Amino acid sequence: MPTEQIVFGYNSSPTLKFTLLDDYGDPIDITGYTFKLMVKPFLANEDGQLPDARAWFDKTGAIITALDGTYKFDLTPAETGIPAGTYPGEIRAWSGSATLPPTYRISAEVTCEEAVDLP
């Protein structure tokens, strides 16, 4: 699956919408699926990995239309109040209960844009 490009403004409240597609570009029925979006400050530390517990945030998603494969993440200012920059992220999808490993792992490049101060 391709990498998702996610962009939001610092301290904003965006709704991020996605569609889970199969290898042919057709929507997957996501009835009963669970979704999580995780964004980390970096992928690896001196030990070669960064535990999920050290992520900027780990957000549970909601299904919009299961048959069309559409789902969303409603972010809060607390979640988007990270330093401006581009970070590694991942969307994880489970077709049943949220147990490891996920059914799908979708790489994400997450950019928090710097706030613009108005005069």
Question: What's residue 98's pLDDT?
Answer: 67
**pLDDT tens digits, 58-73:** 999 999 999 999 999 9
- What is the strand order of the sheet 4-9 is part of? 4-9, 104-113, 85-94, 34-39, 57-60
Q: Is residue 20 part of a domain?
A: yes
What total of structural domains would you count in the chain? 1
Q: Is the pLDDT of residue 11 over 90?
A: yes
118 lies in a domain? no
Confidence band, pLDDT 50/70/90 cuts, at residue 49? low
What CATH number is given to the structural domain containing 57?
2.60.40.3350
Q: What is the pLDDT of residues 87-102, one digit of tens each?
A: 999 999 999 766 678 9
Q: Domain limits at 65?
A: 4-113
Inside any domain, residue 119: no
Structure tokens, 99: 């147990």
User: What global pTM score does this model have?
Assistant: 0.87
